[in-house]
Amino acid sequence: MVETTHEPTERVGLLRVLGPAHVWALGVGIVLVGEYMGWNFAVGKGGAYAALMACWFAGILYTCVAMIDSEVTSTVAAAGGQYTQAKHIIGPLMAFNVGLYLVFAYTMLEAGNAITVGFLVDTVSAMTGHSGIDQRPFIILAIMFLAWLNYRGVLATLTFNLVITAFAFTAIILLFLSLKPWSGDSLLAHADLMTDLPYGWLGVLAAMHFGLWFYLGIEGTTQAAEEVRSPARSLPFGTLAGIMTLLTAATLTWYICVGLMPWEYLGQSGVPLFDAARLSESNVLMVILGFGTLFATLASANGCINDASRAWFAMGRDHYLPAWFGAVHPKYRTPYRAIIFLVPIALIFALGAPLDQVITFSILSGLLEYTFMPFNVILFRKKWPLESIKRGYEHPFHPLPAIMLLLLCSVAYFAVFLGYGTQLIAMLIFYVLVSLWFHFWRYRFVYRAGQFTMPWNKPAGY
Protein backbone atom coordinates (compact mmCIF):
# COMPACT_ATOMS: atom_id res chain seq x y z
CA MET A 1 0.00 0.00 0.00
CA VAL A 2 1.40 3.41 -1.02
CA GLU A 3 0.99 6.20 1.51
CA THR A 4 0.04 9.68 0.47
CA THR A 5 1.39 12.84 2.03
CA HIS A 6 -1.86 14.82 1.84
CA GLU A 7 -3.74 15.88 4.93
CA PRO A 8 -7.26 14.49 5.27
CA THR A 9 -9.96 16.99 4.49
CA GLU A 10 -11.93 16.15 7.63
CA ARG A 11 -10.60 14.98 10.96
CA VAL A 12 -12.28 13.75 14.12
CA GLY A 13 -10.35 15.21 17.04
CA LEU A 14 -9.78 14.18 20.63
CA LEU A 15 -12.22 15.44 23.24
CA ARG A 16 -11.27 18.25 25.65
CA VAL A 17 -12.90 16.87 28.81
CA LEU A 18 -10.13 16.71 31.44
CA GLY A 19 -9.43 19.01 34.38
CA PRO A 20 -6.43 19.58 36.71
CA ALA A 21 -7.40 16.62 38.93
CA HIS A 22 -7.24 14.26 35.94
CA VAL A 23 -3.78 15.59 35.02
CA TRP A 24 -2.68 14.98 38.62
CA ALA A 25 -4.14 11.46 38.50
CA LEU A 26 -2.33 10.72 35.24
CA GLY A 27 1.08 11.85 36.49
CA VAL A 28 0.88 10.51 40.05
CA GLY A 29 -0.98 7.38 39.00
CA ILE A 30 1.82 6.28 36.68
CA VAL A 31 4.50 6.88 39.32
CA LEU A 32 3.03 5.92 42.70
CA VAL A 33 3.68 2.22 42.12
CA GLY A 34 7.36 3.15 42.50
CA GLU A 35 6.66 3.97 46.15
CA TYR A 36 5.04 0.57 46.65
CA MET A 37 7.87 -1.41 45.05
CA GLY A 38 11.10 -1.01 43.11
CA TRP A 39 12.61 1.99 44.92
CA ASN A 40 13.86 -0.30 47.69
CA PHE A 41 16.43 -1.90 45.39
CA ALA A 42 18.36 1.33 45.99
CA VAL A 43 18.63 0.21 49.63
CA GLY A 44 20.20 -3.05 48.49
CA LYS A 45 22.70 -1.16 46.34
CA GLY A 46 23.99 1.16 49.05
CA GLY A 47 22.01 1.01 52.31
CA ALA A 48 19.23 3.13 53.80
CA TYR A 49 21.07 6.47 53.71
CA ALA A 50 22.10 5.88 50.09
CA ALA A 51 18.43 5.30 49.21
CA LEU A 52 17.48 8.59 50.87
CA MET A 53 20.15 10.46 48.92
CA ALA A 54 18.96 8.76 45.72
CA CYS A 55 15.38 9.73 46.58
CA TRP A 56 16.21 13.43 46.85
CA PHE A 57 18.68 13.36 43.97
CA ALA A 58 15.92 12.00 41.75
CA GLY A 59 13.46 14.41 43.35
CA ILE A 60 15.53 17.39 42.22
CA LEU A 61 15.89 15.87 38.73
CA TYR A 62 12.14 15.38 38.35
CA THR A 63 11.32 18.78 39.83
CA CYS A 64 13.38 20.25 36.98
CA VAL A 65 11.49 18.01 34.54
CA ALA A 66 8.13 19.15 35.95
CA MET A 67 9.08 22.84 35.79
CA ILE A 68 10.28 22.62 32.20
CA ASP A 69 7.32 20.50 31.09
CA SER A 70 4.84 22.88 32.74
CA GLU A 71 6.07 25.81 30.66
CA VAL A 72 6.59 24.16 27.30
CA THR A 73 3.53 21.89 27.34
CA SER A 74 1.13 24.61 28.48
CA THR A 75 2.28 26.48 25.35
CA VAL A 76 2.54 23.49 22.96
CA ALA A 77 -0.84 22.06 23.96
CA ALA A 78 -1.11 19.06 21.64
CA ALA A 79 -1.06 15.27 21.93
CA GLY A 80 2.39 13.73 21.89
CA GLY A 81 3.87 15.77 24.71
CA GLN A 82 7.63 16.02 24.36
CA TYR A 83 7.43 14.58 20.82
CA THR A 84 5.29 17.52 19.69
CA GLN A 85 7.58 19.93 21.52
CA ALA A 86 10.61 18.55 19.67
CA LYS A 87 8.77 18.72 16.35
CA HIS A 88 8.11 22.45 16.76
CA ILE A 89 11.32 23.53 18.47
CA ILE A 90 14.19 21.30 17.25
CA GLY A 91 13.28 19.25 14.19
CA PRO A 92 11.91 16.01 12.70
CA LEU A 93 14.76 13.61 13.57
CA MET A 94 14.79 14.64 17.22
CA ALA A 95 10.99 14.47 17.32
CA PHE A 96 10.99 10.93 15.93
CA ASN A 97 13.51 9.77 18.53
CA VAL A 98 11.72 11.48 21.41
CA GLY A 99 8.45 9.87 20.30
CA LEU A 100 10.09 6.45 20.45
CA TYR A 101 11.61 7.21 23.87
CA LEU A 102 8.12 8.00 25.14
CA VAL A 103 6.46 4.92 23.66
CA PHE A 104 9.12 2.52 24.92
CA ALA A 105 9.36 4.11 28.36
CA TYR A 106 5.62 3.80 28.94
CA THR A 107 5.09 0.45 27.23
CA MET A 108 7.93 -1.16 29.19
CA LEU A 109 6.60 0.36 32.41
CA GLU A 110 3.16 -1.03 31.54
CA ALA A 111 4.70 -4.48 31.04
CA GLY A 112 6.52 -4.20 34.38
CA ASN A 113 3.27 -3.30 36.11
CA ALA A 114 1.50 -6.27 34.56
CA ILE A 115 4.29 -8.57 35.80
CA THR A 116 3.80 -7.07 39.25
CA VAL A 117 0.06 -7.75 39.14
CA GLY A 118 0.85 -11.41 38.52
CA PHE A 119 3.36 -11.39 41.38
CA LEU A 120 0.79 -9.84 43.74
CA VAL A 121 -1.82 -12.46 42.88
CA ASP A 122 0.76 -15.21 43.48
CA THR A 123 1.80 -13.65 46.82
CA VAL A 124 -1.77 -13.39 48.08
CA SER A 125 -2.49 -16.94 46.92
CA ALA A 126 0.58 -18.23 48.77
CA MET A 127 -0.57 -16.46 51.95
CA THR A 128 -3.90 -18.32 51.70
CA GLY A 129 -2.22 -21.68 51.10
CA HIS A 130 -2.49 -21.82 47.29
CA SER A 131 1.10 -21.46 46.12
CA GLY A 132 2.37 -21.98 42.60
CA ILE A 133 -0.53 -20.28 40.79
CA ASP A 134 -0.02 -19.49 37.09
CA GLN A 135 0.54 -15.72 36.85
CA ARG A 136 0.17 -15.39 33.07
CA PRO A 137 -3.65 -15.22 32.87
CA PHE A 138 -3.66 -12.35 35.37
CA ILE A 139 -0.96 -10.49 33.43
CA ILE A 140 -2.97 -10.82 30.21
CA LEU A 141 -6.25 -9.90 31.92
CA ALA A 142 -4.77 -6.73 33.49
CA ILE A 143 -3.41 -5.43 30.17
CA MET A 144 -6.53 -6.33 28.19
CA PHE A 145 -8.95 -4.78 30.71
CA LEU A 146 -7.01 -1.51 30.94
CA ALA A 147 -6.62 -1.33 27.16
CA TRP A 148 -10.41 -1.78 26.84
CA LEU A 149 -10.95 1.01 29.39
CA ASN A 150 -8.66 3.33 27.41
CA TYR A 151 -10.42 2.37 24.19
CA ARG A 152 -13.79 3.42 25.61
CA GLY A 153 -12.82 6.99 26.56
CA VAL A 154 -10.24 9.18 28.28
CA LEU A 155 -12.63 10.68 30.85
CA ALA A 156 -13.60 7.29 32.28
CA THR A 157 -9.97 6.14 32.09
CA LEU A 158 -8.53 9.01 34.10
CA THR A 159 -11.49 9.24 36.48
CA PHE A 160 -10.76 5.60 37.33
CA ASN A 161 -7.11 6.57 37.81
CA LEU A 162 -8.10 9.48 40.04
CA VAL A 163 -10.06 7.24 42.41
CA ILE A 164 -7.53 4.41 42.75
CA THR A 165 -4.51 6.75 42.87
CA ALA A 166 -6.11 8.80 45.65
CA PHE A 167 -6.75 5.57 47.58
CA ALA A 168 -3.14 4.38 47.13
CA PHE A 169 -1.71 7.73 48.28
CA THR A 170 -4.07 7.88 51.26
CA ALA A 171 -2.98 4.36 52.26
CA ILE A 172 0.62 5.58 52.66
CA ILE A 173 -0.54 8.48 54.83
CA LEU A 174 -2.65 6.13 57.00
CA LEU A 175 0.27 3.72 57.46
CA PHE A 176 2.53 6.58 58.55
CA LEU A 177 -0.03 7.95 61.02
CA SER A 178 -0.85 4.52 62.46
CA LEU A 179 2.82 3.93 63.32
CA LYS A 180 2.81 7.09 65.48
CA PRO A 181 6.42 8.18 64.85
CA TRP A 182 5.98 10.97 67.42
CA SER A 183 5.19 8.44 70.16
CA GLY A 184 7.68 6.77 72.47
CA ASP A 185 6.11 3.33 71.93
CA SER A 186 6.21 3.50 68.13
CA LEU A 187 7.21 0.35 66.27
CA LEU A 188 9.69 2.39 64.22
CA ALA A 189 13.27 1.61 65.27
CA HIS A 190 15.51 3.80 63.15
CA ALA A 191 18.23 3.96 65.80
CA ASP A 192 18.59 0.16 65.80
CA LEU A 193 18.16 -0.50 62.08
CA MET A 194 19.99 2.40 60.42
CA THR A 195 23.63 1.77 59.53
CA ASP A 196 26.42 3.69 57.83
CA LEU A 197 26.96 3.32 54.09
CA PRO A 198 27.78 -0.42 53.76
CA TYR A 199 29.42 -0.01 50.34
CA GLY A 200 30.69 3.54 50.72
CA TRP A 201 30.02 6.32 48.25
CA LEU A 202 30.12 3.90 45.32
CA GLY A 203 26.97 2.35 46.78
CA VAL A 204 25.36 5.79 46.84
CA LEU A 205 26.13 6.22 43.15
CA ALA A 206 24.76 2.77 42.33
CA ALA A 207 21.56 3.56 44.26
CA MET A 208 20.83 6.50 41.95
CA HIS A 209 19.60 4.05 39.30
CA PHE A 210 16.64 2.95 41.39
CA GLY A 211 16.10 6.37 42.94
CA LEU A 212 14.50 7.31 39.62
CA TRP A 213 11.78 4.76 40.33
CA PHE A 214 10.27 7.10 42.93
CA TYR A 215 9.21 9.53 40.18
CA LEU A 216 9.57 7.86 36.77
CA GLY A 217 6.60 8.84 34.59
CA ILE A 218 5.52 12.20 36.07
CA GLU A 219 6.36 13.75 32.70
CA GLY A 220 3.42 11.76 31.30
CA THR A 221 1.09 14.62 32.21
CA THR A 222 2.13 16.24 28.92
CA GLN A 223 0.27 13.54 26.98
CA ALA A 224 -3.04 14.99 28.19
CA ALA A 225 -2.34 18.37 26.58
CA GLU A 226 -4.87 17.97 23.76
CA GLU A 227 -7.61 16.60 26.00
CA VAL A 228 -7.70 19.10 28.89
CA ARG A 229 -10.25 21.89 28.94
CA SER A 230 -7.73 24.59 29.88
CA PRO A 231 -4.12 23.60 29.09
CA ALA A 232 -2.66 26.86 30.41
CA ARG A 233 -4.17 26.22 33.85
CA SER A 234 -4.59 22.46 34.14
CA LEU A 235 -1.20 21.23 32.92
CA PRO A 236 1.07 23.34 35.20
CA PHE A 237 -1.22 22.86 38.19
CA GLY A 238 -1.61 19.09 37.73
CA THR A 239 2.08 18.52 36.99
CA LEU A 240 3.51 20.62 39.83
CA ALA A 241 0.94 19.33 42.33
CA GLY A 242 1.89 15.85 41.17
CA ILE A 243 5.61 16.23 41.83
CA MET A 244 4.89 17.69 45.29
CA THR A 245 2.63 14.71 46.04
CA LEU A 246 5.34 12.29 44.96
CA LEU A 247 8.07 14.03 46.98
CA THR A 248 5.86 13.64 50.05
CA ALA A 249 4.98 10.01 49.33
CA ALA A 250 8.60 9.07 48.57
CA THR A 251 9.94 10.56 51.79
CA LEU A 252 7.22 8.97 53.94
CA THR A 253 7.73 5.61 52.24
CA TRP A 254 11.47 5.65 52.91
CA TYR A 255 10.95 6.72 56.54
CA ILE A 256 8.39 3.99 57.25
CA CYS A 257 10.25 1.12 55.60
CA VAL A 258 13.77 1.76 56.92
CA GLY A 259 12.32 2.10 60.42
CA LEU A 260 10.69 -1.35 60.29
CA MET A 261 13.03 -3.57 58.24
CA PRO A 262 16.80 -4.22 58.19
CA TRP A 263 18.37 -2.83 55.03
CA GLU A 264 19.53 -6.32 53.97
CA TYR A 265 15.90 -7.52 53.79
CA LEU A 266 14.38 -4.27 52.55
CA GLY A 267 16.82 -4.17 49.64
CA GLN A 268 15.31 -7.31 48.10
CA SER A 269 11.67 -7.10 49.22
CA GLY A 270 9.10 -7.48 46.46
CA VAL A 271 6.39 -5.37 48.15
CA PRO A 272 8.05 -3.23 50.87
CA LEU A 273 5.03 -1.15 51.91
CA PHE A 274 2.87 -4.25 52.21
CA ASP A 275 5.63 -5.86 54.29
CA ALA A 276 5.62 -2.77 56.48
CA ALA A 277 1.86 -3.15 56.97
CA ARG A 278 2.34 -6.79 57.98
CA LEU A 279 4.95 -5.77 60.56
CA SER A 280 2.49 -3.25 62.00
CA GLU A 281 0.45 -6.27 63.20
CA SER A 282 -2.78 -4.63 62.03
CA ASN A 283 -5.06 -6.69 59.81
CA VAL A 284 -6.87 -3.54 58.69
CA LEU A 285 -3.61 -1.95 57.52
CA MET A 286 -2.64 -5.16 55.74
CA VAL A 287 -5.89 -5.06 53.76
CA ILE A 288 -5.57 -1.32 53.01
CA LEU A 289 -1.95 -1.59 51.87
CA GLY A 290 -2.72 -4.75 49.92
CA PHE A 291 -5.37 -2.92 47.93
CA GLY A 292 -3.10 0.14 47.78
CA THR A 293 -0.37 -1.94 46.16
CA LEU A 294 -2.80 -3.42 43.62
CA PHE A 295 -4.42 -0.05 42.87
CA ALA A 296 -1.05 1.70 42.45
CA THR A 297 0.03 -0.99 39.99
CA LEU A 298 -3.20 -0.79 37.98
CA ALA A 299 -3.14 3.04 37.97
CA SER A 300 0.41 3.01 36.62
CA ALA A 301 -0.37 0.51 33.85
CA ASN A 302 -3.55 2.43 32.98
CA GLY A 303 -1.71 5.74 32.67
CA CYS A 304 1.06 4.12 30.64
CA ILE A 305 -1.44 2.82 28.07
CA ASN A 306 -2.92 6.31 27.84
CA ASP A 307 0.46 8.02 27.34
CA ALA A 308 2.09 5.50 25.00
CA SER A 309 -0.96 5.49 22.72
CA ARG A 310 -1.06 9.32 22.56
CA ALA A 311 2.58 9.50 21.51
CA TRP A 312 2.12 6.74 18.90
CA PHE A 313 -1.07 8.38 17.66
CA ALA A 314 0.57 11.81 17.31
CA MET A 315 3.44 10.32 15.30
CA GLY A 316 0.95 8.57 13.02
CA ARG A 317 -1.10 11.73 12.55
CA ASP A 318 2.04 13.56 11.41
CA HIS A 319 3.05 10.60 9.15
CA TYR A 320 6.23 9.91 11.13
CA LEU A 321 4.64 6.48 11.35
CA PRO A 322 1.97 5.07 8.98
CA ALA A 323 -0.98 7.47 8.96
CA TRP A 324 -3.28 4.54 9.83
CA PHE A 325 -2.26 5.02 13.49
CA GLY A 326 -3.48 8.62 13.48
CA ALA A 327 -7.17 7.66 13.49
CA VAL A 328 -9.61 8.75 16.22
CA HIS A 329 -12.60 6.57 17.12
CA PRO A 330 -15.74 8.30 15.78
CA LYS A 331 -17.77 7.49 18.91
CA TYR A 332 -15.31 7.31 21.83
CA ARG A 333 -12.90 9.93 20.42
CA THR A 334 -9.81 7.94 21.45
CA PRO A 335 -6.71 6.94 19.41
CA TYR A 336 -8.06 3.41 19.29
CA ARG A 337 -5.71 1.98 16.66
CA ALA A 338 -2.64 3.09 18.59
CA ILE A 339 -4.10 1.58 21.78
CA ILE A 340 -4.80 -1.77 20.11
CA PHE A 341 -1.45 -1.93 18.30
CA LEU A 342 0.62 -1.49 21.48
CA VAL A 343 -1.23 -4.21 23.43
CA PRO A 344 0.65 -7.23 21.95
CA ILE A 345 4.00 -5.42 22.35
CA ALA A 346 3.32 -4.95 26.08
CA LEU A 347 2.21 -8.57 26.37
CA ILE A 348 5.35 -9.90 24.68
CA PHE A 349 7.60 -8.15 27.20
CA ALA A 350 5.32 -8.85 30.17
CA LEU A 351 5.23 -12.57 29.42
CA GLY A 352 8.74 -13.08 28.13
CA ALA A 353 11.21 -10.68 29.78
CA PRO A 354 12.64 -10.47 33.34
CA LEU A 355 11.22 -7.65 35.47
CA ASP A 356 14.58 -5.95 36.09
CA GLN A 357 15.32 -5.85 32.35
CA VAL A 358 11.90 -4.39 31.58
CA ILE A 359 12.31 -1.74 34.29
CA THR A 360 15.79 -0.81 33.06
CA PHE A 361 14.53 -0.48 29.47
CA SER A 362 11.87 1.92 30.74
CA ILE A 363 14.34 3.92 32.87
CA LEU A 364 16.88 4.26 30.06
CA SER A 365 14.26 5.40 27.56
CA GLY A 366 13.09 7.95 30.12
CA LEU A 367 16.64 9.17 30.69
CA LEU A 368 17.17 9.72 26.98
CA GLU A 369 13.99 11.78 26.93
CA TYR A 370 15.08 13.87 29.93
CA THR A 371 18.44 14.54 28.28
CA PHE A 372 16.64 16.14 25.35
CA MET A 373 14.57 18.46 27.57
CA PRO A 374 17.32 20.95 28.60
CA PHE A 375 18.22 21.62 24.96
CA ASN A 376 14.53 21.87 24.13
CA VAL A 377 13.68 24.54 26.70
CA ILE A 378 16.86 26.56 26.04
CA LEU A 379 16.08 26.68 22.32
CA PHE A 380 12.44 27.45 23.10
CA ARG A 381 13.38 30.49 25.16
CA LYS A 382 15.93 31.57 22.55
CA LYS A 383 13.67 31.23 19.50
CA TRP A 384 10.54 32.55 21.19
CA PRO A 385 11.47 34.93 24.04
CA LEU A 386 9.00 35.44 26.87
CA GLU A 387 7.40 38.53 25.39
CA SER A 388 7.01 37.08 21.88
CA ILE A 389 4.28 34.47 22.52
CA LYS A 390 1.73 33.82 25.25
CA ARG A 391 2.70 31.10 27.72
CA GLY A 392 0.44 29.32 30.17
CA TYR A 393 3.26 29.15 32.73
CA GLU A 394 6.79 30.55 32.97
CA HIS A 395 9.12 28.46 35.08
CA PRO A 396 11.54 30.49 37.23
CA PHE A 397 15.36 30.57 37.37
CA HIS A 398 15.92 29.77 33.69
CA PRO A 399 18.36 28.30 32.57
CA LEU A 400 19.35 26.83 35.97
CA PRO A 401 16.78 23.95 35.93
CA ALA A 402 17.89 22.98 32.42
CA ILE A 403 21.60 22.94 33.35
CA MET A 404 20.90 21.06 36.58
CA LEU A 405 18.76 18.50 34.73
CA LEU A 406 21.53 17.84 32.22
CA LEU A 407 24.12 17.34 34.99
CA LEU A 408 21.84 15.03 36.97
CA CYS A 409 21.08 12.97 33.87
CA SER A 410 24.82 12.51 33.31
CA VAL A 411 25.21 11.13 36.84
CA ALA A 412 22.19 8.86 36.34
CA TYR A 413 23.68 7.45 33.10
CA PHE A 414 26.86 6.51 34.93
CA ALA A 415 24.84 4.91 37.75
CA VAL A 416 22.88 2.80 35.25
CA PHE A 417 26.07 1.89 33.40
CA LEU A 418 27.51 0.38 36.59
CA GLY A 419 24.78 -2.24 36.71
CA TYR A 420 23.40 -2.44 33.16
CA GLY A 421 26.16 -1.21 30.87
CA THR A 422 25.53 -3.80 28.16
CA GLN A 423 21.84 -2.96 27.98
CA LEU A 424 22.60 0.77 27.86
CA ILE A 425 24.94 0.32 24.89
CA ALA A 426 22.49 -2.01 23.13
CA MET A 427 19.69 0.53 23.49
CA LEU A 428 21.83 3.35 22.12
CA ILE A 429 22.71 1.20 19.10
CA PHE A 430 19.01 0.45 18.59
CA TYR A 431 18.05 4.12 18.60
CA VAL A 432 20.88 4.97 16.19
CA LEU A 433 19.65 2.30 13.76
CA VAL A 434 16.02 3.46 13.84
CA SER A 435 17.22 7.06 13.38
CA LEU A 436 18.99 5.99 10.21
CA TRP A 437 15.82 4.20 9.06
CA PHE A 438 13.77 7.35 9.65
CA HIS A 439 16.26 9.62 7.89
CA PHE A 440 16.75 7.50 4.78
CA TRP A 441 13.28 6.00 4.40
CA ARG A 442 10.44 7.19 6.59
CA TYR A 443 10.98 10.94 6.34
CA ARG A 444 9.78 10.97 2.72
CA PHE A 445 6.22 10.29 3.96
CA VAL A 446 6.16 13.09 6.53
CA TYR A 447 3.65 15.82 5.77
CA ARG A 448 6.16 18.68 6.03
CA ALA A 449 3.73 21.53 5.42
CA GLY A 450 1.71 20.47 8.46
CA GLN A 451 4.53 20.22 10.97
CA PHE A 452 4.04 23.61 12.61
CA THR A 453 0.52 23.81 13.95
CA MET A 454 0.99 26.36 16.75
CA PRO A 455 -0.07 29.98 16.00
CA TRP A 456 3.31 31.47 16.93
CA ASN A 457 5.37 34.29 15.49
CA LYS A 458 8.43 33.44 13.44
CA PRO A 459 11.37 32.36 15.60
CA ALA A 460 13.84 35.07 16.59
CA GLY A 461 16.56 35.40 13.94
CA TYR A 462 14.49 33.81 11.12
Q: Give the model confidence (pLDDT) of 1-33 as tens digits.
A: 445 444 444 467 888 899 999 999 999 999 999
Separation between Cα atoms, residue 450 and residue 326, nearest integer Å: 14
β-pair partners for 18: 228
198 domain-assigned = yes
4 domain-assigned = no
pLDDT digits (tens, 9 = 90+) for 301-335: 999 999 999 999 999 999 999 999 999 999 999 99
pTM exceeding 0.95: no
9 domain-assigned = no
pLDDT value at residue 460: 83
Which amino acid is it at 290?
G
pLDDT value at residue 9: 40
What is the average pLDDT value for the chain, to the nearest integer? 90
Q: Identify which has the larger pLDDT, 1 or 411.
A: 411
13 domain-assigned = no
138 domain-assigned = yes
pLDDT digits (tens, 9 = 90+) for 234-244: 999 999 999 99
458 domain-assigned = no
Across residues 199-211, what is the average pLDDT?
89
pLDDT digits (tens, 9 = 90+) for 353-395: 888 788 888 888 999 999 999 999 999 999 999 888 888 888 8
pLDDT digits (tens, 9 = 90+) for 151-204: 999 999 999 999 999 999 999 999 999 999 998 888 999 989 988 899 999 899
Separation between Cα atoms, residue 153 and residue 311, nearest integer Å: 16
Which pLDDT band, with edges at 50, 70 and 90, does 348 fall under?
Answer: very high
Indicate whether 413 pLDDT > 70: yes
Separation between Cα atoms, residue 420 and residue 423, nearest integer Å: 5
Indicate whether 148 pLDDT > 80: yes
pLDDT value at residue 113: 94
pLDDT digits (tens, 9 = 90+) for 436-446: 999 999 999 88
CB contact at 8 A, 76 and 454: yes
Indicate whether 455 pLDDT > 90: no
Residue 228 three-state SS:
strand
Separation between Cα atoms, residue 247 and residue 32, nearest integer Å: 10
CATH number for 353 = 1.20.1740.10
β-pair partners for 228: 18
Cβ count near 184 (within 10 Å): 5
Indicate whether 209 pLDDT > 70: yes
457 domain-assigned = no
Cβ count near 192 (within 10 Å): 9
Separation between Cα atoms, residue 139 and residue 121, nearest integer Å: 10
Indicate whether 225 pLDDT > 70: yes
Separation between Cα atoms, residue 48 and residue 400, nearest integer Å: 30
pLDDT value at residue 83: 94
Closest by CA position to 19, among listed 159, 153, 168, 135: 159
Residue 18 three-state SS:
strand
pLDDT value at residue 11: 61
CB contact at 8 A, 206 and 196: no
Across residues 348-357, what is the average pLDDT?
89
pLDDT value at residue 391: 86
pLDDT digits (tens, 9 = 90+) for 259-307: 999 999 999 988 899 999 999 989 999 999 999 999 999 999 999 999 9
Which secondary-structure segment (H or E) carries 461? none
Q: What is the domain range of residue 121?
A: 21-450
Residue 125 three-state SS:
helix
Across residues 98-118, what is the average pLDDT?
94
What is the count of structural domains for the chain?
1
264 domain-assigned = yes
